[in-house]
Structure 1
């Protein structure tokens, strides 16, 4: 046989190196899941066996701090960009953009799909810029073209029920993306609108919310079972989190704007119940500020320049000249006939405990059975980039704030492992190629000792 023992050894070493490289690369798969409005303490309200087994095999933060304000669109976009709201520009579910001369409303499909509203770089864009493949199911921002990119796979959001059957269908789609034989996604995002909707309608301490927590636990169990069934347990890191918490509301804790503001003296007045954004007409700034400040002790009113620095909520043109913020549990109604009554709400100051969401994670790169102290949700983006072995875009987070979640020797090392494996494997492939070529052409390269050797060589070439 023309391949000698040394060549076989090189084959074995090459295959081992490439296998090591492939194994390290497989660790880069990531599934990010959000349960909207899942408050940090909901896991203690009912039995959650599936969340419990997930936590036992991974990490759990006591709670995480969402960004100000504690609303759905701003915080979901913070999670995937690592930016405060003033940095990525989604400063509320509803806001006014003076440069575009347009209002943004989260239920307006045209607004949601307009890439001009979306600043920063979401994780799926970062992933695809680095050669990855992304699948996003119902995540805030995923319907717009951002920096010239859309997710490789995504679904346009539609208002839907919260049936377990539908959730299973959504999950199956994401699993299909992750196990596609031709181009599996290495990054998947999956969003569930509960228990937020139920918390709004019935309040966070209701039996209905408890039932919905159980359903969230059931779909988590289904996801974990599907991951195991498809042989992905040791290949996929999973993060489960939320955008904000929820608190109780009461009809007795609403104030009205009747008689306090003349809206003809404003260009834009966006009242979102737990706060309001006010853009006065030129010359009426002082009057409107004074009138709003006199309304009620349970509503704070700031000029833009006076908003506390710790909120990271002033350095953006979309933040209004006058900002109103209700105290936790209080609401603002436009007039006495306004019926904005829900039994649960969020969007209040992000320092309030009821506004804090959950953070859980499990997979080959995370510690097991580890409980972490709280951290900010701006840190999640950098953590995801570390897990995906990609260079993060500029952001407000720091990997140092969350590196303690990672298993020993995983942080900042996985990238080195696969790079070394690639280098060694590539080098051995080159050596192998040289050896093969040498073996193939060895009869032609050997110096003939006599004319007879030349005749044999010529005959061999003619036969070839």
Structure 2
């Protein structure tokens, strides 16, 4: 299969929404890019619409139940800070960067989720020091490309302030610019998190979120200018995308509190979980309910009774309940007993102490106990689309797509590079391609 471009740069602006488009069209670099792009402002995301499943979908063209990344974090009942699906080995099947590597292409990824220990030439994976005895730098070095990361840290590490934003994205930007200039990768995956962080902490339409979009505009401008300076602009394709949108919320639903009251979760004297029959695993705006023993019909009946009671009053914060098989049909984890969708204004926590519903305060957001906006909701929620823009070599400019799905992006990227992801859930968006 002939390739349509020599360099593909995929820029994920985490939490970029359809509602951001009017502002993007006023910002100089986004405006210029959009005017020369083919695009879709009604991209349907996946379920659950959280970052790690979304980014695995983008590089595989498959739904979570097929690529295996069904949530951000592991099912680790009782752990205050569960581990994340950081590592490539969690993804079932091939990926865009695997196929690029097989074809002899030079690959790079900067903070792209689920790439720890991936076979990427220049890899700076998104992974956190999640144990008290861990330190961020060795954790990153061990799970990515050590020499490359040491070089980026020695040049730009002074910009970072731990995982805080916007400094982390500023560090990623400088590393991106340096990588384009010195490596000229044929496939480059970049993940910026500034906007998502500001929305979590301050709300969807906050001034802080608008400021993040303005910073993203400058970051985009730097990347586009660098492609020109590196002499590869004419032979490059740039894709700008979001992974999900977000919704404001002010109340936290803590279903595990009820499970504990009904004897489905046991704790010791200090309140630590010691055993469980049923557990609510949060995906923020949605949640899975798992049963420890699949043959425990008493637990299943108890959970069903609890959920039936809660559904009678919308103030309990649960909009819908579906079965595991119904969740599987939507591309989510079919091994769950039930999947729950939060009502607008609510989201789920795994906490097992306190009240069933807790109000979120500004102080909670400042201390990162809770958030003021989140994602994870059903893609069927109204006004919850993300976006996709592509411009450059191999792209027909000015082509507007009425609707598409997140699973379509991977196959389309593969076609641009002359690669094949095989039998995927998504389809190539051929209308935007200059074939």
Please confirm whether the aligned pair reaches a TM-score higher than 0.5, indicating the same fold: yes
Match of 2:8 among 20, 27, 30: 30
**In structure 2, how many angstroms separate the alpha carbons of the residues matched to 1:105 and 1:36?**
26
- 1:161 is matched with 164
CA contact (8 A) 1:94 1:105 kept: no
Unaligned ranges ≥5, structure 2: 129-161, 267-275, 361-368
Measured at CA, do residues 293 and 273 of structure 1 come closer, stay the same or move farther in structure 2, by a change above 3 Å?
farther
Compared with structure 1, are the counterparts of its residues 279 and 188 closer, same or farther at alpha carbon in structure 2 (3 Å cutoff)? same
Matched, 1:368 2:397: yes
**Secondary structure of the corresponding residue to residue 190 of structure 2:** strand
Provide the rounded CA distance (Å) in 2 between the counterparts of 1:376 and 1:279: 28
Q: Is the contact between residue 58 and residue 363 of structure 1 (CA under 8 Å) also seen in structure 2? A: yes
Answer yes or no: is the 8 Å Cα contact 1:36–1:192 preserved in 2: yes
How far has the Cα of 1:366 moved from its partner?
Answer: 1.0
Query: Within 2, Cα distance between the matches of 1:173 and 1:197?
Result: 20
DSSP 3-state at the match of 2:59 = helix
Query: For 1:104-183, what aligned pairs fall within 5 Å after superposition?
Result: 112-145=85-118, 150-157=119-126, 160-163=163-166, 167-180=169-182
SS at match of 1:294: helix
Once the two structures are superposed, what CA deviation does each residue of 1:205-227 show, in whole Å capped at 9, x if it has no partner?
Answer: 11111111111111111111111
Give structure 1 stretches of 5+ with no counterpart: 1-23, 97-101, 411-464
Aligned to 1:75: 54
Match of 2:137 in 1: none
Deviations 1:31-89 (A, max 9, x none): 00001111112131463111010011111212211111111111111001100011011
CA contact (8 A) 2:21 2:41 kept: no
- Could you tell me the TM-score, scaled by structure 2's length? 0.76
Deviations 1:365-419 (A, max 9, x none): 11223322120010111111111112223311112xx111123xx2xxxxxxxxx
Q: CA deviation at 1:25?
A: 6.8
Separation (CA, whole Å) in 1 of partners of 2:35 and 2:322: 45
Corresponding residue SS for 1:119: coil
Report SS of the residue matched to 1:361: strand
Tell me how many residue pairs correspond in the alignment: 365
1: distance between equivalents of 2:72 and 2:408?
22
CA distance, structure 2, for counterparts of residue 67 and residue 406 of structure 1:
24
Secondary structure of the corresponding residue to residue 386 of structure 1: helix
Q: Is the 8 A contact 1:64 1:375 kept in 2?
A: yes
Task: State the distance in 1 between where 2:66 and 2:433 align.
Answer: 27
> Residues 273 and 138 (structure 1 numbering): CA distance in 2 closer, same or farther, change over 3 Å?
closer
Helix, strand or coil at the partner of 2:194: coil
Secondary structure, counterpart of 2:289 in structure 1? strand
- RMSD value over aligned CA atoms? 2.8
Cα deviation, residue 131, structure 1: 1.6
Asked whether the equivalents of residues 301 and 324 of structure 1 are also in contact (C-alpha less than 8 Å), the reply is yes
**1:204/1:344 contact within 8 Å kept:** yes
Asked if 1:84 is matched to 2:63, the reply is: yes
Cα distance in 2 for residues equivalent to 1:389 and 1:105: 44
Contact 1:381 1:397 in 2 (8 A): yes
- Residue 132 of structure 1 deviates from its aligned partner by 1.3
**Does the CA-based 8 Å contact 1:328-1:348 persist in structure 2?**
no
Q: TM-score, normalised on structure 1?
A: 0.72
- 1:285 equivalent in alignment to 2:300: yes
